[in-house]
Amino acid sequence: MDDFEVLGFSAAEKSMEVSLGASSRFFAGHFPDHPVLPAIAHLVLVDTLVKRCLGEGAGIIAVERARWLRPVPPGTRLRVRLTEARDPAQMRFAIDGDEERVSEGLLTWRAPGPE
């Protein structure tokens, strides 16, 4: 996928580092002359990590809470992390930029089906 480059991944830490290039389709039209990463793209990154950690059939089925804290411009490197929540069907996510959190939330996930 040309929208982001995975620079590193750790299943044990449930984390991945990504780079968002200026040519990413995520920024197309959002917003002309002042591109920022749209909220749905944050969730695409989180869903990608869910699939890498739990299997291709896993995925987000609901976002219970989400906060977008800072704009993310093209060329940004991000660290996406998942942590346990009280309910085993849920996970917390956090996306950090250069020393600052850019988004966080709580999601409900779907386990992969039998192969």
Alpha-helix residue ranges (DSSP H) falling in 19-105:
39-54
- CATH code of the domain covering residue 28: 3.10.129.10
Tell me whether residue 93 is in a domain. yes
In a domain, 115, yes or no: no
Give the strand pairing for 101-110 and 90-96: antiparallel
In the chain, where does DSSP find H-type helix? Answer: 39-54
Reported as a single tens digit per residue, the pLDDT across 70-115 is: 999 999 999 999 999 999 999 999 999 988 999 999 999 998 876 5
Given this model, what pLDDT does residue 115 score? 53
Into how many domains does the chain fold? 1
Nearest to 73 by CA among 106, 100, 47, 46: 100
pTM: 0.92
Give a yes or no: residue 46 inside a domain: yes
Instruction: Give CA–CA dist 25/2, Å, rounded.
Output: 8
Chain centroid, CA 60 distance in Å: 11
Q: For residue 24, give its domain range.
A: 5-110
Longest C-alpha distance within the chain, in Å? 46
- For residue range 4-16, list pLDDT tens digits in order: 999 999 999 999 9
Q: Does 61 map to a domain? A: yes
pLDDT tens digit sequence for 19-54 = 998 889 999 888 888 999 999 999 999 999 999 999
